[in-house]
Amino acid sequence: MDVDVPDHSSRRRLRRRVGVVSRRLVAVVAALAMMLLAAQGALASTGVTVKDAVGLQAVGPTSSEYGFPAWYQDKANERLELCLDKDNPLCGFLPGDIPDETQPISFPGNFPDELFYFLASSTLDLPGGGRAVLTSGLEAAFVNGVAAGGQQTFTRIRVVVRGAPANQTITIKHPYGQLTIDTDGTGAGRLVRDVAPSVGNFSLALNGDVGPWLRWTGTDAPAGYLGDPAVEHTITGGPARNTFSLDDKNGTQVASTDRFTLQGKIATNTGVAVDSAVVNGGFVDVFATSRGSALEVVGQDGKFPTTIMQHEPDTDRFYARVPVTSGATVTSVTVRNNGDKPASTAVATLSGIAVTQASYDGGVLGGLLTVQASVAAPATYPLTIAGVGEIPGPDAKGFPMVAPPAALTVASGALTTTVPVVVTGGEASPAGTAAPPVGPNVPPVCDPSPCGPGGVPAEATPRAQVAAVALTAPRGIATVIDGSTSTNATTFSTVFKSGPIPTIANAATNKPSVTLPTWAATADAAPRTPVDATPTVVTFTATNGAASSSVDVTLTPVGDTVTVSTARSRAGSDLRVDGTSTIPGAGLVLSPPTQVVVYAQTSAAAPWVRIGTSPVDTTGAFSVRPKPAPATAYANYRVQTSRGTEVTGTLTR
């Protein structure tokens, strides 16, 4: 989808419109990402090259009012909350964002389908009338329209350019990092990166591309806000820089600005989360967490009174024991944080199971576990005790056993509660038999006598045995020789015998590892001669006294499978060799990673010139793309890897 870059007066409307479109495409983000990775041509170089190195620090409890986190906090300890005042211009709402603009915002009937904890935008005017627009923010949105259960949050970095240098890989530098965009023949290009839309998984945004918050320089920002979304201003707080700029393919700056619009409301609310609410006899025990200081359990007529929660100093923990009217059934409780303006609440459904006794007496019937529990709706009898049995009703029930569990998990259908077992009686367990004193060292005793050479009985002669005497081994990756089935051995050793010299680890054990030497290296200035495929031979020995047994193990080097997907050379514009390297059976996360060295030549008779190196990443991919691109157009490429593989081919132009 192509989106024109608007003028300054409509920039805020653009981020709304594109936000809605991208949100509807969340379900295909992963597929699109794979397409971009595989794509060649115009978008081959578009991507994030320097990611935000800071990120965010914490996310607050989920608000029961609208289902999004009460706040997000950056690593400078500044918290931002959603701005939900439709009449406040600093909240950034535009006509059409709120279904009924004559009524207050309420969830879900009169709630915007997207809104922001933080939003920063900037516009670059380019020579010749072009423009580049940057949008970075932390967004709250829904998977499919405003509805409970579809809430998600994500960070966004988005850049759209028009009229930039054409047919080039341009570089964008912004406060949170750096990225490249391949432009088409008109100088247009774009990149959008969202981290990471997932329903209800609000902590994913902490590792996104935004953080810490930007804010206006000086002291003229509106009180309680980072800035004004309608006013451009200089900023501070960018972990990489406080400017937005565009460089051409040669690294020459085309345009730069230090002006941004900012939207972000500093949090006054702390929110509240109910961690547990359990019926316990004639009480409900309520546990909650909050950064506030004035929490209460909201009373229910005829069931229990409003009860102040107790706060553990220097923590986020709150607790209250709420007395329940005899005969009343309690199915849920509401905790209110009165320190928030407006007050925030959280609702919890009770487990309905209260274990009033979980004790063990080792002196009764050889050991007796006694359990008693009461229930309240929606829990019902019988109750199931994992690994023990059932409680049919409210009376205590005993379970004979000599070794009780440390804790009991009691369940009614999907409802569960876990309590520790208290030991109330029983005699001390019998003492163990004391070990005999250590005797003197004595010579071997053999039958028949005498013992064989070195004092080793004939039946104790060691036998070295390995799982395989012939192995294939990737270069640079440890290959284990399994000698654990060896018999009658007291010591082991593994030594080099012939071939390329390897590195041997754990040589004095029955599972030594052998690492064959690597081949191509990033320090190479010229292509290496053909790789030496000679096998390496090591000798594994099992020893008992003076007797020993040995096995030779042959390790034949095996290379990686290399496929080149992109290979092109355009004089002064682009030189790129991309591909994959995999080792069958070795997985993708290799230590150390495979290294790739790429050479090129202008003709079949010309010398090879090194153009660059690349590690193979955890997806198996590599990319060599020198910047700036060489002024010479090359005809052929030659790839050599540290695992001992070489591939050659022709560069397209």
Per-residue confidence band for 196, with pLDDT thresholds at 50, 70 and 90 = confident
Fold for domain 273-349?
Immunoglobulin-like (2.60.40)
Fold for domain 453-558?
Immunoglobulin-like (2.60.40)
In 128-272, beta strands by DSSP E: 131-142, 151-162, 169-174, 177-182, 189-195, 215-216, 235-236, 244-247, 253-257, 261-263, 265-266
Q: Quick one: DSSP state of residue 395? A: S
pLDDT at 211 over 80: yes
Amino acid in position 567: A
* Furthest CA-CA distance within the chain: 107
Are the beta carbons of 466 and 541 closer than 8 angstroms? no
Are the beta carbons of 632 and 651 closer than 8 angstroms? no
pLDDT, average across residues 331-360:
84
Q: Lowest-pLDDT range, 30-34, 91-95, 148-152, 567-571? A: 30-34
Amino acid in position 308: I
Q: Is cis: bond before 104, omega within 30 of 0?
A: no
Are the beta carbons of 462 and 489 closer than 8 angstroms? yes
pLDDT at 36 over 70: no
Per-residue confidence band for 358, with pLDDT thresholds at 50, 70 and 90 = confident
Q: Which residues contact residue 359 at a Cβ distance below 8 angstroms, ignoring those fewer than 6 apart?
A: 369, 370, 421, 422, 423, 424
Per-residue confidence band for 447, with pLDDT thresholds at 50, 70 and 90 = low
pLDDT in the model for residue 436: 83
pLDDT at 26 over 90: no
Q: Which two tokens stand for residue 70?
A: 């009460």
Are the beta carbons of 336 and 296 closer than 8 angstroms? yes
* CA gap 4, 130 in Å, rounded: 11
* CA gap 56, 62 in Å, rounded: 17
Amino acid in position 223: A
DSSP letters, 361-392, are ETTSTT-EEEEEEEE-TT--SSEEETTTEEE-
pLDDT in the model for residue 22: 38
pLDDT in the model for residue 42: 38
Q: Lowest-pLDDT range, 294-303, 448-457, 487-496, 550-559? A: 448-457
Mean pLDDT, the chain, as a whole number? 86
Convert the pLDDT of each residue in 607-650 to its tens digit.
999 999 999 887 788 999 998 889 999 999 999 999 999 999 99
488 or 278: which carries more pLDDT confidence?
488
Q: Lowest-pLDDT range, 240-249, 288-297, 350-359, 440-449? A: 440-449
Residue 632: other Cβ atoms inside 10 A: 12
pLDDT, average across residues 83-94:
92
CA-only gyration radius of the chain, Å: 35
Per-residue confidence band for 536, with pLDDT thresholds at 50, 70 and 90 = very high
Per-residue confidence band for 45, with pLDDT thresholds at 50, 70 and 90 = low
* CA gap 537, 281 in Å, rounded: 74
CATH of domain 561-650: 2.60.40.10
* CA gap 360, 421 in Å, rounded: 7
pLDDT at 365 over 80: no
pLDDT at 299 over 90: yes
What is the CA angle 56-60-63, rounded to 5? 140
Per-residue confidence band for 416, with pLDDT thresholds at 50, 70 and 90 = confident
455: left (phi over 0), alpha (psi -120 to 50) or beta: left
pLDDT in the model for residue 498: 94
pLDDT in the model for residue 453: 54
Convert the pLDDT of each residue in 516-531 to its tens digit.
999 999 899 999 988 8
Pairing between β-strand 235-236 and β-strand 215-216 as defined by DSSP bridges: antiparallel
What SS3 class is residue 497? Answer: strand
Q: Which two tokens stand for residue 423?
A: 């030991």
Q: What is the pTM of this model?
A: 0.51
Percentage of the chain lying above the pLDDT 70 cut: 89
Alpha helices in 146-224 (DSSP H): none
pLDDT at 35 over 70: no
* Chain centroid offset of residue 74 CA: 18
The helix (H) or strand (E) run that includes residue 189 is: strand 189-195
* CA gap 500, 535 in Å, rounded: 7
145 or 281: which carries more pLDDT confidence?
145
32: left (phi over 0), alpha (psi -120 to 50) or beta: alpha
Residue 649: other Cβ atoms inside 10 A: 13
Are the beta carbons of 339 and 402 closer than 8 angstroms? no
* CA gap 153, 229 in Å, rounded: 20
User: Which segments of the chain belong to CATH 2.60.40.10?
Assistant: 453-558, 561-650
Kindly report the length of the chain.
653
Q: Lowest-pLDDT range, 293-297, 341-345, 448-452, 628-632? A: 448-452
Q: Quick one: DSSP state of residue 99? A: S
Are the beta carbons of 274 and 344 closer than 8 angstroms? no
Per-residue confidence band for 66, with pLDDT thresholds at 50, 70 and 90 = confident
pLDDT, average across residues 323-337:
87
Percentage of the chain lying above the pLDDT 90 cut: 58
* CA gap 548, 540 in Å, rounded: 10
627 or 354: which carries more pLDDT confidence?
627
